């Protein structure tokens, strides 16, 4: 390069240096690839970029940090790129304990306990002898049915209220509810039986014992004392089975019935806070008698405490338990008509289909277990389904399997009962179909009840019972055909409600 004139200082070289090739070496890692390595699992399992954005923000990444480190505007922009780069991969959920898994033996035990009291009628049959009543039924039938139906309705209502307290974790409140409700139900059942005139004298005493047993059994079943109740029923059940092969004297029959009843009542009283209840009642009565007209209490102080009491834990409302009683009334009448519908319509006494009622009662044990299996299967479907349609398909498959299994058990019980019951009418095609439809009504109704949709189930079952009662009172149609049509309509309505209400994933959470 030429220099300046002589004597001038040398000019500085202002041209840029000649570029040289870079040394060979690894390329700088992409920071987003490094982030994907760290967040690959959550990013692959995300169903929307916002889920990845939530993970980024939970890691403490601010928008400024994202702009400096990753060259993206904010967390949502970065999340969208991560979502686009990673293929979707939904890992199977970890194994979790099944909350609906129950042993089959426990449910079968409850089914046996539901059916065993029926043997008391076998043991006490010689004590109920007499001329048929005005409807052609055996002597004392109406008396016992009135007490049993009222007791069944009250038992359903009381059980729900006590179970509600147990669900809130307050076993003491559940026991207090049973302490007040069980004696009241026994009095109502006895009063209903006494209101039916024309029964044999022993039928009223038998109905009173029946009402006492229903109250005691409700207490023991709600509080989880099934084995105690089974032991209490032992003497009566043994005597009933023995009476099928030998003619037991009347005093022996009465003694066995009284021993089982006394044992059940004693065990129920042991489970209840009787002493505490008596003291509480005495305090309440004493407080009302000692309080004069001018001593109504510190009203202003109570008003000041109103804000504090708003946050006190409240128990279940009484109105929430009424639909369970209505459901019990509807199903009880449907079972009653299944057994006695033809006789009530003027048919011969030999048309009593007692094996159908016994089969429906015994099937409640398997029905309860299959209800748990449905809840378990729907929960598994909720975890495995990838779309609402896939969940509905899984739910319908589980529903069909459980309902079919229950109907198979019910049909087997109906056939066995018809073969073993002396002089029972044959289980013809129309009788068998009616039995299966009634079983579908009861199982789907219990299923809706277990999901909290008891009002819908109660309306359908009560409407079916009213329709059949009106047909019976007006003489409309042949009794068997009326039962078939009513049971079919109720089963179709309940099936539609199950598919409509339980086809949503939110109903199973």
DSSP code per residue over 185-232: HHHHHHHHHHTSTT--HHHHHHHHHHHHHHHHHHHHHHTT-HHHHHHH
Torsion of CA 274, 279, 281, 283, to 10 degrees: -170
Question: Which DSSP letter does residue 19 get?
Answer: P
Q: How far apart are CA 78 and CA 73, in angstroms?
A: 8
Torsion of CA 326, 327, 333, 334, to 10 degrees: 150
Q: Where are the alpha helices (DSSP H) in 47-170?
A: 49-58, 63-70, 75-85, 104-115, 119-124, 141-167
Name the residue among 489, 486, 480, 351 with its Cα closest to residue 424: 351
Q: How far apart are CA 75 and CA 490, in angstroms?
A: 55
Give the whole-number percent of the chain exceeding pLDDT 90.
Answer: 28
Computed on alpha carbons and rounded to an integer, the radius of gyration of the chain in Å comes to 36
Residue 362 · residue 413 · CB < 8 Å: yes
pLDDT of residue 294: 47
Mean per-residue pLDDT for 477-483?
A: 84
What does the pLDDT look like over 161-192, one tens digit per residue?
Answer: 999 999 888 888 899 999 989 999 999 999 99
Q: How far apart are CA 233 and CA 468, in angstroms?
A: 34
Which token pair is 102? 């129950």
What does the pLDDT look like over 2-39, one tens digit per residue?
Answer: 444 455 444 444 545 544 554 554 444 678 778 877 87
Q: How far apart are CA 124 and CA 240, in angstroms?
A: 9
Give the pTM.
Answer: 0.73
Residues in Cβ contact with 285 at an 8 Å cutoff, skipping those fewer than 6 apart: none
Q: Is the pLDDT of residue 259 over 60?
A: yes
Please indicate whether residue 209 or residue 507 has the higher confidence score (pLDDT). 209
Other CB atoms within 10 Å distance of the CB of residue 262: 15
Q: Is the pLDDT of residue 300 over 50?
A: no
Q: Is the pLDDT of residue 221 over 90?
A: yes
Residue 126 · residue 140 · CB < 8 Å: no
């Amino acid at each position: 390069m030429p220099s300046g004139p002589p004597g001038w200082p040398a000019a500085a070289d202002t041209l840029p240096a000649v570029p040289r090739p870079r040394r060979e070496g690894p390329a700088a890692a992409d920071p987003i690839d490094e982030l994907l390595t760290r967040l690959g699992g959550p990013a692959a399992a995300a169903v929307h970029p916002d889920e990845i954005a939530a993970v980024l923000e939970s890691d403490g990444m601010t928008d400024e940090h994202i702009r400096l480190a990753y060259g993206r505007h904010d967390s949502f922009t970065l999340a969208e790129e991560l979502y686009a780069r990673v293929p979707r991969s939904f890992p199977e959920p970890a194994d979790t304990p099944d909350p609906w898994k129950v042993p089959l033996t426990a449910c079968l035990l409850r089914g046996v306990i539901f059916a065993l009291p029926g043997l008391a009628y076998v043991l006490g049959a010689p004590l109920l002898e007499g001329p048929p009543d005005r409807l052609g039924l055996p002597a004392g039938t109406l008396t016992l049915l009135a007490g049993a139906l009222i007791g069944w309705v009250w038992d359903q209502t009381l059980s729900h209220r006590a179970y509600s307290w147990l669900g809130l974790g307050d076993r003491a409140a559940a026991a207090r509810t049973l302490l007040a409700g069980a004696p009241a139900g026994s009095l109502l059942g006895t009063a209903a039986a006494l209101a039916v005139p024309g029964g044999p004298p022993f039928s009223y005493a038998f109905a009173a014992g029946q009402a006492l047993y229903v109250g005691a059994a409700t207490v023991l079943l709600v509080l989880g004392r099934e084995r105690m109740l089974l032991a209490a029923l032992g003497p009566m059940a043994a005597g009933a089975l023995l009476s099928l092969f030998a003619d037991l004297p009347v005093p022996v029959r009465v003694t066995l019935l009284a021993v089982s009843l006394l044992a059940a009542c004693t065990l129920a009283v042991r489970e209840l806070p009787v002493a505490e209840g008596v003291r509480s009642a005495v305090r309440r009565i004493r407080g009302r008698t000692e309080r004069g007209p001018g001593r109504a209490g510190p009203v202003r102080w109570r008003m000041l405490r109103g804000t504090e009491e708003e946050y006190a834990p409240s128990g279940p409302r009484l109105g929430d338990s009424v639909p369970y009683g209505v459901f019990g009334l509807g199903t009880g009448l449907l079972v009653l008509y299944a057994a006695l519908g033809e006789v009530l319509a003027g048919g011969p006494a030999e048309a009593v289909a007692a094996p159908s009622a016994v089969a429906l009662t015994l099937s409640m044990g398997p029905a309860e277990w299959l209800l748990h299996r449905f809840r378990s299967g729907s929960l598994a479907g909720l975890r495995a389904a990838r779309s609402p349609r896939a969940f509905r398909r899984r739910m319908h498959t589980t529903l069909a399997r459980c309902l079919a299994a229950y109907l198979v058990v019910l049909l087997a019980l109906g056939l066995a009962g018809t073969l073993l019951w002396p002089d029972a009418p044959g289980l013809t095609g129309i009788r068998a179909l009616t039995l299966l439809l009634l079983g579908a009504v009861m199982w789907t109704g219990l299923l809706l009840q277990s999901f909290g949709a008891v009002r819908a189930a109660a309306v359908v079952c009560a409407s079916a019972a009213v329709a059949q009662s009106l047909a019976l009172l007006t003489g409309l149609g042949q009794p068997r055909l009326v039962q078939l049509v009513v049971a079919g309509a109720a089963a179709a309505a309940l099936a539609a409600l199950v598919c409509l209400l339980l086809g949503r994933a939110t109903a199973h959470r």
